Amino acid sequence: MTFRPRYTGLIDRYRDRLPVHDDTRIISLGEGNTPLIRLHNIPSLLGKEVDIYVKYEGLNPTGSFKDRGMTMAVTKAVEAGSRAIICASTGNTSAAAAAYAARAGITAFVLIPDGKIAQGKLAQAMMHGSTVLQIQGNFDAGMKLVKEVADHAPVTIVNSINPFRLQGQKTAAFEIIEELGRAPDYHCLPVGNAGNITAHWIGYCEYSSASGDHVTKACAFCEGHCRFAGGAIVGNRPKMVGYQAAGSAPFITGGMVDNPETVATAIRIGHPQSWDYAWQVQKESGGWFDACTDEEILAAQKLLAEKEGVFCEPASATSLAGAMRDVKNGKIPEGSSIVCTLTGHGLKDPDTAIKQSSGPVLKIAAELDEVKRAILDNLA
C-alpha cells in the first residue's frame, strides 16, 4: 500500500507560482483540489456531441471558490502585520473572509446588502464570528464604502481588487489543465465583479507561456504578483465565456447597471470592479459575454441537480445555463470540450432551492401500507 501525501491547500501545492516565501505563515483550510466532474446525462439531452465538465467549487471549505482567493489574501494580510480585514459581499466572500480570519486569529468586518444574501452565507459569517454590517444598499454601495473606509481605518480589503485574491483563484485553471492534459476549448463562468474570469485567464496564460514572458512582460492582470515557474505546460488556451444574470448584466448592456436584480443574489452586481480586465480577457481569448434570464438559471440549476446529482447555487448555474444554450444554437460547436465553473454549493441557498423544487414531499401516516403505496405510485 502506498500512501499519498496529505493535501495541505493550494498555496502549498502551487507555492512556486504564488507570491509567498519559505517562511510565510500560510493561512489555509485545505482549499482547492476540487472535483472536475464530466456530465453524462445533460449532453445527451442536448443531443450534441460535446464534453461538458463542471468544476465543482462548491466543495471548497466554505462552499465556494472564494476560498482560493481568501487563503492568499489573508495569508498576505497577516504577513504584512494586518490585524483586521474588510469586504463588501453578496455572501460568499463574507463567508470565506469570516472563516479565514477566524483561522488566522484576526478580525473580519463584512458589509452585506440587507435582506439580499442567502441564508447559508449569513449563517457562516455569523458563526465564524465576523462583525456583520447589513447595509441599506446593494453590493455596489458596500464596495464603495469599503474602498473609502480603508483609507481611514487599519483594515485590509479582501475583495478581488486585492491582487492576491486573483493569484489564489488562478489555481483553478492549473487544476483543470492538470486533469485534462490540456486547456478546454471553452471555459464558461458566471460573472459578477469579473474577478474570477480574470483570475482563470491569468492561470491559463501562465500554464501556456513557454518563455516566462507572461510573467515578466505580458501579464496585464497580475500587478506583478505572478511568479514564473518553468516552461509551457500546455500549448492551448480556452475561449473565456462569461454569463451574467439578465437583470444584472453590465457586460451585455455595455454600461454600469444602477439597480441590479436577479434571483442569483451572488451575482447581483451592477458595477463590476474588474471591468477593464474582463473586457481584455474576452478580447485576448476570443470569447464572449451573454446574459441568462432568471428562469434559465433556475432551470439549469434544477436540471443539474436532477440529472447529474450535482447541487450548485443559482449564480453558479448561470455558467451551465449559458453553455447549454450556446451548445444548442451551435455557437459552441460539436466536438468541443467545455468546462463550466460551479462557483458555489447549492446548500448556500436552501430557500430558493425549496421554492422551485417539483419533487413532492408526501405526508403519510407511519404505516407500512402507506409507504408501500407511495413507492408504487412514484416508481419511475
Which residues contribute to the site for ligand F0G (CB under 6 A)?
A: 64, 66, 89-93, 160, 190-196, 266-267, 313, 315-316, 343-344
Give the separation between CA 312 and CA 63, rounded to whole angstroms.
Answer: 10
By beta-carbon proximity to ligand F0G, the closer residue of 183 and 266 is 266
What the block records as the C-alpha cell of 272 is 463590476
What the block records as the C-alpha cell of 109 is 468586518
By beta-carbon proximity to ligand F0G, the closer residue of 11 and 188 is 188
Q: How far is the CB of 185 from ligand F0G (least distance, A)?
A: 21
By beta-carbon proximity to ligand F0G, the closer residue of 48 and 164 is 164
Q: How far is the CB of 221 from ligand F0G (least distance, A)?
A: 13
Backbone phi and psi for residue 320, each to the nearest 5 degrees, phi listed first: -75, -40
Query: Which positions ≥6 away from 312 have C-beta within 8 Å?
Result: 54, 56, 58, 301, 304, 305, 342, 343, 344, 345, 346
- By the 10 Å C-beta count (0-12 exposed, 13-18 middle, 19+ buried), 172 is classed as buried
Q: How far is the CB of 212 from ligand F0G (least distance, A)?
A: 27
By beta-carbon proximity to ligand F0G, the closer residue of 64 and 71 is 64
Query: Which positions ≥6 away from 27 have C-beta within 8 Å?
Result: 71, 74, 75, 78, 100, 103, 104
Q: How far is the CB of 319 from ligand F0G (least distance, A)?
A: 8
- What is the CA angle 44-50-55, rounded to 5? 95
- What is the CA angle 115-118-120, rounded to 5? 125
By beta-carbon proximity to ligand F0G, the closer residue of 48 and 349 is 349
By beta-carbon proximity to ligand F0G, the closer residue of 19 and 192 is 192
Backbone phi and psi for residue 38, each to the nearest 5 degrees, phi listed first: -85, 125
Using DSSP's 3-state secondary structure scheme, residue 35 falls into coil
Q: How far is the CB of 252 from ligand F0G (least distance, A)?
A: 14
Q: How far is the CB of 27 from ligand F0G (least distance, A)?
A: 19
Are 318 and 190 in contact by the 8 Å Cβ rule? The answer is yes
Picking from 191, 193, 197, the residue whose alpha carbon sits closest to that of residue 290 is: 191
Q: How far is the CB of 199 from ligand F0G (least distance, A)?
A: 7
Question: What DSSP state is assigned to residue 353?
Answer: H
Q: How far is the CB of 227 from ligand F0G (least distance, A)?
A: 22
By beta-carbon proximity to ligand F0G, the closer residue of 48 and 273 is 273
By beta-carbon proximity to ligand F0G, the closer residue of 24 and 280 is 280
Q: How far is the CB of 191 from ligand F0G (least distance, A)?
A: 5
Query: Which positions ≥6 away from 65 have C-beta within 8 Å?
Result: 57, 92, 169, 172, 196, 341, 343, 344
By beta-carbon proximity to ligand F0G, the closer residue of 112 and 332 is 112
